[in-house]
Amino acid sequence: EWEEELAGNFSVAFGLAMRELFETLFGDDGGVVYNDDQQSLSLKATLDCNHRDTSSDNTTEESFAKNDNTSIVENNNYLNLMMDQLLLQQYQHLHNNHHLPQNNNHQKMMSIHLSIKPIKAQLQNIFAVPMLTRDIVASKPHLKGGYQRLERVFKETQSYNEVKQKTYELAEEVGLDSAKRTVIAEATITCLEYFQVKDLESGRVVQGMED
C-alpha cells in the first residue's frame, strides 16, 4: 500500500514540476493550462526560429555553465530541487534560441503543442546510499562514481579488506558529512501524451503527431 502511495506522490510531483517548468520558460510565449482534477498539463506556444543563437548549439554541461541566459531556471529554487540539472538546461536551451515573435514578417514561425496526462505510476525500486549526496558530489565532483570505483576494486582484487580500506578513504574524503544518507526512489510514470511542432507558414508538421 505504501508503494502505491509513494508512486502516486511521484506522479503528482511530476505534474507540478512540469507545470512550473513550462510556466517559467513559456508563460509569456503561450498558454500553459494545468487541470488539477485530472493532473493534466497542456502547453501551446508560438516560437520564432529566426532569432537563434547558434553559438550555444553545443548543449554540453560546460557550455550551459558558461551561458548567462540560464538565469531563468538557475534562480528558480523550486525547479532546481525538483528536476535534474541537465534536463533543465535542455529546456533552457530551447527557450534561449527560440523567442516570442515580434511581428508578422518572419517566415520561420513554429507552433509547439504538448499535452501530458499521467495515467499510471509504479514504484520500481528504493534504496539508501550512504555518505554521498548530490550536494557533496556537486561540491566535490571527483567523488562522482565513488561506489562504482569500489565495485571495480572488488572485481579486480576479490578482497573485502581492500574494499573496506577504500570505503574508509572515501568516508575520510567526504568528511563530516559522511554520516548522511541519501534515499533514492525510482518510479515509472505512464502518460497520455500529445506532441506537435508545426511550421505556421506551410502548415506542415515538422515533428510529432498529426492533427
- Please say whether the beta carbons of 23 and 72 come within 8 A: no
pLDDT at position 30: 58
Residues in the chain: 211
pLDDT at 2: 92
Q: Residue 28's pLDDT is what?
A: 65
All cell numbers assigned to 30: 503561450
What residues contact 89, with CB distance under 8 A and at least 6 apart? 59, 61, 64, 70, 73
What span, in angstroms and rounded, lies between the C-alpha atoms of 78 and 150? 34
Q: What is the pLDDT of residue 137?
A: 86
| Region of residue 95 (phi > 0: left; psi between -120 and 50: alpha; otherwise: beta) | alpha
Predicted pLDDT of residue 65: 44
pLDDT value of residue 49:
66
Cβ contacts of residue 63 below 8 Å, gap of 6+?
A: 56
Q: Kindly list the averaged pLDDT for each block of 10 residues, start to end, along the chain of length 211.
A: 92 90 75 81 78 48 46 79 84 65 57 90 90 84 86 89 88 82 90 91 87 77
pLDDT tens figures, 161-178 = 988 888 888 888 888 777
Report pLDDT for 7.
94
Residue 115: CB partners within 8 Å, gap ≥ 6? 40, 41, 42, 43, 192, 193, 194, 195
